[in-house]
Structures are given as C-alpha cells and as structure tokens.
Amino acid sequence: MENRLKTDLEDLIRRGVVAFYGYQEVLPDVLSSKEAGRVKVLPGDISGVQMSDADVCFLDREALRALAVKFPMRPRYVLARLALRPGWFWGLPGLLRRLLIGQMTFRGTATMRMGERSQYWLVIQKTAEHQSGPAFLSEKVGVQGLLDHLRREKVNYVVLKFYEKLPELHREGGDLDILVADEDEAKVREFIREHPGTIGIDIFSAVSPGREGIPHFPPPLARRILQSAVSGPAGSRIPGPKEAFLSFAYHVLYHEGFRAGIPSTLPGAEVDPDPKNDYLGALRRMAEELGIGVALNLEGLDEYLSAEGWRPMRDTLAILAERNEWVRRRFFSAQPMKEVGLGVFVLRQSPDGTDRMDSLLELIQKDKFLIIRSKKLDEAERERAARHLRGGNWAEKKDLNRNGAFLPVAVAAVLDLHFPYSGGGRAPGGYSRLRALKEKLRKRFDAGEASLVHSTDNTAEAWDYIEVCFPEETEDIRGEVDRLTRDLRLPLRERTMLYFRALPYLLKRTIFRARSAIVRYLEKK
C-alpha cells in the first residue's frame, strides 16, 4: 500500500468513526492512539453493515458476505480480513464482480499489529465519490462553539430536531442533526475537521445526495425548511413551527418508519416498542402547540403530509422502500397497477444548451413507440417539473445544475403498442422495450457528468409524471390509453422479431433472478 494511502487510512482510523463487523478478537494497536471519533464493535450483529456511518469499516467472519450483498455504502475504506473464513465463499465472487464493473478498487493490504501478533486486511475503496458520514466535533469547542461559529460565518442552516435543550444534546450519546445549504456544507465540515472530537454532528445537504443516494429531504422541501428559519436556543437557527412539525413527521415516516415506535393501522405491523427517541411525544407536543388535528399514527401522519404537499413522489418512495419496511408495505404491497407499457421520458438541459428534442422524438418513433403527448416546457412548467419529479433531485453531485444544466426541459409520454407481446407476461424474461429504449437514448445522448435522459420505470410512475406535466390533459390521455390498449393485435412477423430482440434481455433477466435469489438467501442467514 502506497505511503500516502497508508497515512490517510491511519489518520481516518485515529480521528474518524471505525466499525468492526463480525470481529471477535482484541482490537488492533493503532486504536490505542485514537484521538477522536468512535469505535463500534459488532461481533455478531451484521444487519446494519450496509448503512454503516463509519469512515473505515472492518469486515470479518460472516460479515465478509457483505462484499457480495449489502456492501457498506458510506465508508471511505472497507477492510476485509485475510484469513480462512467461510464468509469468503460468498464474499470473494461478490468482490470480483464489483471490481470488474468498476464499482470499487483494490488498494493493497494493511498489516495491523496486536502486541506480538499481526493481522492482514485487504484494503478496498469505492470508486464513486465518497459520501461522508457524520462528523465528530471536539468537546472543547462543544455544540455552543459550533453554533457561534455558524452564526459568525452567516451559514445558512437549521438544527432539524431535538433542539429544545441546546447547547446540551437531547440525550446522552445523541447527535446534533443540521440541514445546511449546499454552498455552505464545506464550511461546516471544514470547521469540524479542524476541531475533531466525539460529539456527533449529522450534516445533511439541502441538495446533494445522502445516505440513500437521494437528498435527506426533496430539495424544494429542504429550501422551504431553510427559508423558514427562526432563532432558537443558544443562538441556533431552527425551522419555523409549521416546518418543524412537517420536517419531523417526514423524518419519522419516510426515514424511520416502524423503528420510530409510532402506532400503525397496517395489519400485523411490528412497531418498535423501544425507539431510540420519544418521537410520538414530540409529535403530540408540536401538533398541540400548532392546533393541528391529526391522527398520531403513521398512516394518519402520511395523509396529513400528502395534503400539505410533503409526501414524496412514487419514484422517491420506491427508493426509500428499500430500507423502510413501513414505506414498502404502505405503498407497494397492494395489488400493483396494471402495466400497459406507458412511460414518460424527460429530457434534461444539455450543458451546452443544444436542443435535442427533435432527435429524441425521432428515435422514439423509430423504435415503434406511439408518442401520446410531447412538449418543450415553458419556464413555469420547468419549475413545476423540477420541483415535483424525481424527488426534486436533479443534481447527482454538487454544482451539477449550474446555469440550469441537467434540469428538465422537455417531456414525452409514450405507449409501447408491442407491450402485450414484450412485457405483458407473455415475453421471455420480462423483456422491457421501454427499458431498452431508455438505454438506447442514453447511449445516443449522454456524454457528460450525468444522463440527459430520465424516464419512469412503470405505468404507475408514468401516471404520476403525466399528472405533473400534462395536468389539464390527464383524463383525455387516460381515455386514449384505454382505447389503444383494449384489443391490440400484431402481425406474426412483428411478434417473431420481438421475441428475437428479447433474447439478450432474457439472459440478463436470468442472471438477475439468480443473483436476487442468492441475495435473499444470504439475507436470511
């Protein structure tokens, strides 16, 4: 391992958050000189490895399976124990696959001393931009010192919740959660980096993706929270009363779910009887102070947030459902909407300003899709689409939307008239012509920092997008789609060609299903 990398790794171990999963021995000597941060040792519980907030994550024994499934998303470095372990049976193929697709890179080996003994670890680093976990502040500076610094620097931020006792934290071992404007995030992190310690500060950007690959709040809501800021305890900035309730309820529902200990009306709901915070008491107090009459259960709160325009769009909920059992059961466990091959393509603004709408429509028609509606968005429509579609998140990384780049500029609602033969249950492998078309369009148009083409994944999402982009024509479009899909028939020659085109996707689908079966098996073990 090169010297610069070794120094960076050792510095992170001494000053950052370190987590050991599956490890059952004496800790390495390097931790005896730890200056800041925390050490977590979970010898038997590896359930939280994927969402670990550590800077450096050590995997041993059964935790080595995480190299295949539930790979830690946030740590800068992942170290895998080089020893005879059954976990390598599953971990090694997963590691090789991730290396082949460029998801991570091998950085050498690290030797960890434990007195007279040595351990050897494989050092792995993600190739994607590192998503920092919580920062840890010096006890000498303290929360009051941080708040004073943010005020002096005129940082645009709010303390999101549990701020009543500031500068004291709401409970022993608790963290301080702050939402900060994208342009000020670096200032906050730099100050804490210069004053490291053990006080946990969770920093959420108003725009940049976070733990789930999406922002903590949809950017329009995050901006609303920041704009509502009022003075709080200890010279802090906190959300206005209404935004405090809405943002707290949002966190409880879509981030915590059943873990929050809030009652649920879903049949068989297993609510955590011992949540880490008194979420229910806090919600009740805020609702009473605001005079809000809302049922204090998960479903009642969700209906209230929906009425206030704070429920995420379906595409965002689908991402949240991967980590939130309540979201999955609430929105995705019922009989799904019938698939009819309906999709919406969104063209994003090219950084050079080139108008690609005509080329997009030409390629869609060439692939024998029916364009039901299409239009270039005016200024008001662009703002509406950017706010409501894709969770309001159009910046895969910082500064991506400078000068309006990669924001939505045009949309096309399309219908696959081949769907009954290619995606309606009769085609091999669940072949999706809509997905194939999206890949083709991206290969044609993408050449920069992000894709210029976004699309829905299913009919239910497509209707959500149509209601946003064509609000006055939605009912007419429903009638057209019903009429077009009622009794479709294709000539034998077209059906035969369709099946031949599906063969590559059949292979991909078979591989995907096999991998999914392995993942489900490993998750149960």
What is the phi-psi region of residue 162: left when phi exceeds 0, alpha when psi lies from -120 to 50, beta otherwise?
left
Supply 111's token pair. Answer: 């030797």
Side-chain half-sphere of 393: how many Cα atoms within 13 Å? Answer: 25
Q: What is the arithmetic mean of pLDDT over 16-37?
A: 84
For the chain, list the domains and their CATH numbers: 3-126 (3.40.50), 134-238 (3.30.460), 240-334 (no CATH), 342-491 (3.30.70.141)
pLDDT, greater one: 295 or 334: 295
pLDDT, greater one: 336 or 208: 208
**Average pLDDT of the chain?**
85
Instruction: Report the amino acid identity of residue 257.
Output: G
Q: Is the pTM of this model over 0.85?
A: no
For 70-101, write each residue's pLDDT tens digit: 788 778 889 999 999 999 998 998 889 888 87
* The pLDDT of residue 498 is above 80: no
Query: Quick one: which of 396, 74, 72, 50 has its CA closest to 214?
Result: 396
* The pLDDT of residue 382 is above 80: yes
Contact (CB, 8 A) for 158 and 237: yes
Element at 376 (helix H, strand E): strand 370-376
Determine what percent of the chain is predicted with pLDDT higher than 90: 45
Position of tokens 């940082």?
155
17-31, 89-103, 315-329, 386-400: least confidently modelled range? 386-400
Peptide bond just before 167 cis, omega within 30 deg: yes
Contact (CB, 8 A) for 467 and 477: no
Q: Please tell me the predicted confidence (pLDDT) of residue 430.
A: 46
Instruction: Report the amino acid identity of residue 478.
Output: R
Q: Please tell me the predicted confidence (pLDDT) of residue 155.
A: 97
Q: Residue by residue, what is the 3-state secondary structure of 441-491?
A: HHHHHCCCCCCCEEECCCHHHHHHHHHHHCCCCHHHHHHHHHHHHCCCCCC
Q: Please tell me the predicted confidence (pLDDT) of residue 417.
A: 77
* The pLDDT of residue 45 is above 90: no
For 216-237, write each residue's pLDDT tens digit: 999 899 999 999 999 999 999 9
Report the alpha-carbon distance of residue 204 to residue 239 in Å, rounded.
14
Please list, in sequence order, all residues whose beta carbon lies within 8 angstroms of the beta carbon of residue 130, skipping any fewer than 6 positions away.
74, 76
Count how many residues are written for the chain. 525
